[in-house]
Amino acid sequence: MHSVIVENIIKTYGKKKEVAALSAISFEIPKGELFGLIGPDGAGKTTLFRILTTLLLADSGNARVDGFDVVKEYKSIRKRVGYMPGKFSLYPDLTVEENLNFFATIFNTSISENYDLIKDIYIQIEPFKKRRAGKLSGGMKQKLALSCALIHRPSVLFLDEPTTGVDAVSRKEFWEMLKGLKQQGITILVSTPYMDEAGLCDKVALLQNGKILSIHTPQGIVDDFSDPLWAVKSTGMLHLLNDLLALEAVKDAYPFGEFHHVVLKNESGKKELEQFVQSRAKDHAVMQAVKPDIEDCFISLMKN
């Protein structure tokens, strides 16, 4: 059974429909899956979230959440999904506890009834339950927002860029929390601009300019990258990049942390690259084979 089904969803903005936010998007999410929507700002992630949470109408296409149609049965969907928007949307003048109570009451439940579901997350902010939400730190706001999105025990959880602007440590913690929720059987759709988070999902869709570039397991996406990939470094990295790009055998080269990643047109290009690296021995040039990651795949898909 699928928790989310999206079929040919099209959404445009502007008087003349000149801005294509989503261009015929289709995908499905099986129940209990952690599904990642990976793409930069402006890719269409938030538009898709708003359509699936029944806050925005698509121009055309169909979508179902937990078996219900997003247009005809929007009321049923609203009762059973949790939504954490990208912008902090709780009441800054209410305390932590008041916010949580408010959302529980709206959904006709209570904190105590579903405490077990939020316990691991809420316990971290409970010492501050008398503090106003507006006075919380970024990390604590995020935990409160997640608690509020969960308090009615939703079957599908929508998280729009929960880790944007969050440091590497807090990001890791947040993904640990998601793993815990997944084990409780909740289907999770999460969006992120951080490519390195893709590997933590069961399946991901890479989204760019309203189109799905690829949709697969993280391993599947990486396996689809068929060109030979090498990592090269030397002193004077900026010049090295320009020289690499000038090589006949090189399809693409771009900075990648400490190294430049070099995509070759085919396996036989290795020879030219080896000769080039040897010729730069005085610059301490080294090359090594490297496995592509999601970011390599995204770059390659964007450029094709």
Partner 1 sequence: MTGDKVITADKLTKRYGDFVAVDHISFEVHKGEIFGFLGANGAGKTTAMRMLCGLSLPTSGKATVAGFDVYRENEKIKQNIGYMSQKFSLYEDLTVKENMRFYGGIYGMSDAFIKNKTASILDQLHLQKEGNKLVKALPLGWKQKLAFSVAIFHEPGIVFLDEPTGGVDPVTRREFWNMIYQASESGITIFVTTHYMDEAEYCNRVSIMVDGKIEALDSPAQLKKIYEAGSMEDVFLQLARKAVRAAD
Nearer to partner 1, 39 or 162 (CB): 39
Alpha-carbon dihedral angle through residues 29, 30, 31, 32, given to the nearest 10 degrees: -80
Q: What is the DSSP string of the chain?
A: -EEEEEEEEEEEESTT--EEEEEEEEEEEETT-EEEEE--TTSSHHHHHHHHTTSS--SEEEEEETTEETTTTHHHHHHHEEEE-SS--S-TTSBHHHHHHHHHHHTT--TTTTHHHHHHHHTTTGGGTTSBGGGS-HHHHHHHHHHHHHTT--SEEEESSTTTT--HHHHHHHHHHHHHHHHTT-EEEEEES-GGGGGGSSEEEEEETTEEEEEE-HHHHHHT--S-EEEEE-SSHHHHHHHHHTSTTEEEEEEETTEEEEEESSGGGHHHHHHHHHHTGGGT-EEEE----HHHHHHHHHH-
Per CB under 8 A, the list member of 258, 282, 289, 291 interacting with partner 1 is 258
Q: How far is the CB of 237 from partner 1 (least distance, A)?
A: 8
Per CB under 8 A, the list member of 72, 108, 169, 185 interacting with partner 1 is 169
How many residues bind to partner 1 according to rule CB under 8 A? 33
Residues 195-224 that bind partner 1 (CB under 8 A): 195, 208
Stretch that binds partner 1, among 93-101, 158-166, 197-205, 267-275 (CB under 8 A): 158-166
- The distance of Cα 55 from the centroid of its chain, to the nearest Å, equals 20
Q: How far is the CB of 38 from partner 1 (least distance, A)?
A: 10
Nearer to partner 1, 29 or 37 (CB): 37
Nearer to partner 1, 152 or 260 (CB): 260
41 binds partner 1 (CB under 8 A): yes
Per CB under 8 A, the list member of 16, 87, 168, 248 interacting with partner 1 is 168
138 binds partner 1 (CB under 8 A): yes
Q: How far is the CB of 165 from partner 1 (least distance, A)?
A: 6
Residues 179-198 that bind partner 1 (CB under 8 A): 193-195
299 binds partner 1 (CB under 8 A): yes
The answer to whether residues 155 and 81 touch, using CB atoms and an 8 Å cutoff, is yes
42 binds partner 1 (CB under 8 A): yes
Q: How far is the CB of 114 from partner 1 (least distance, A)?
A: 26
Per CB under 8 A, the list member of 73, 227, 272, 295 interacting with partner 1 is 295
Nearer to partner 1, 105 or 164 (CB): 164
298 binds partner 1 (CB under 8 A): yes
Q: Which residues bind partner 1 (CB under 8 A)?
A: 39-43, 137-140, 164-170, 172, 193-195, 208, 237-238, 254-258, 295, 298-299, 302-303
